[in-house]
Amino acid sequence: MIQKLKENKVPFGLMSKEMQEKALEIGIKDNFRPYSNSADFTGYWGGCVGIDREFEESCTYQLRADYEPEQGVVKYKVKDIGGVFDYINDDGESMGHLCQAVDDCDFIGFLYEDEYVRPVSRCYRLSKGHDPDYRMYKNNIGKYEVLTPTHVLFKGKE
């Protein structure tokens, strides 16, 4: 589908439904350019100047030749399995222990309840009003809450 969008020569409104859906998913801004088979085409084409806004039914667009799909993010849920934290797939199968995730070359980070991604598998928080930290101070060691991520994130093709 990507190659078809790169070679497209028909107006958006005449493209197949699948091509239109993929184009909308990719998004027009910085990804598509107006297309004309005219030899003197200079980049401006009548009503097709809104290349950073939305697709016009009557305009023809091509996906940039150098466009590459972005890598998606694979998200695994963290679960306590017999006293050890594992990250699991959608079928509930363990994909590995939490501490092993960082050794994977596609590892991105650990997602916590506050929606922040951090590089460590455990964080500490002094109290609810404080931001999580990677370290704790020994004079308050008994007062810290140990935080566990909700998910492990990896790079992966969509």
Q: Give the residue-averaged pLDDT of 37-44.
A: 50
pLDDT band for position 43 (cuts 50, 70, 90) = very low
Distance CA 8, CA 43 (A): 16
Q: Which of the two residues, 55 and 153, has the higher pLDDT score? A: 153
Residue 101's pLDDT is: 96
Q: Which of the two residues, 61 and 149, has the higher pLDDT score? A: 149
Q: Reply yes or no on whether the pLDDT at 157 is more than 50.
A: no
User: Tens digit of pLDDT for each residue in 63-118?
Assistant: 888 888 777 889 999 999 999 999 999 889 999 999 999 999 999 999 998 888 99
Q: Give the residue-averaged pLDDT of 29-55.
A: 60
Mean confidence (pLDDT) of the chain:
83
Distance CA 148, CA 25 (A): 34
Beta-bridged to residue 124, according to DSSP, are 133, 146
Q: Give the residue-averaged pLDDT of 135-156.
A: 89
Percent of the chain having pLDDT more than 70?
Answer: 87
Q: Which of the two residues, 16 and 42, has the higher pLDDT score? A: 16
| Backbone CA torsion sign across 131, 137, 139, 145 | positive
Q: Give the residue-averaged pLDDT of 3-15.
A: 87
Q: Reply yes or no on whether the pLDDT at 151 is more than 60.
A: yes
Distance CA 157, CA 155 (A): 7
pLDDT band for position 38 (cuts 50, 70, 90) = low
Domain ranges in the chain are 2-63, 72-156
Which residue bears the tokens 């050794």?
103
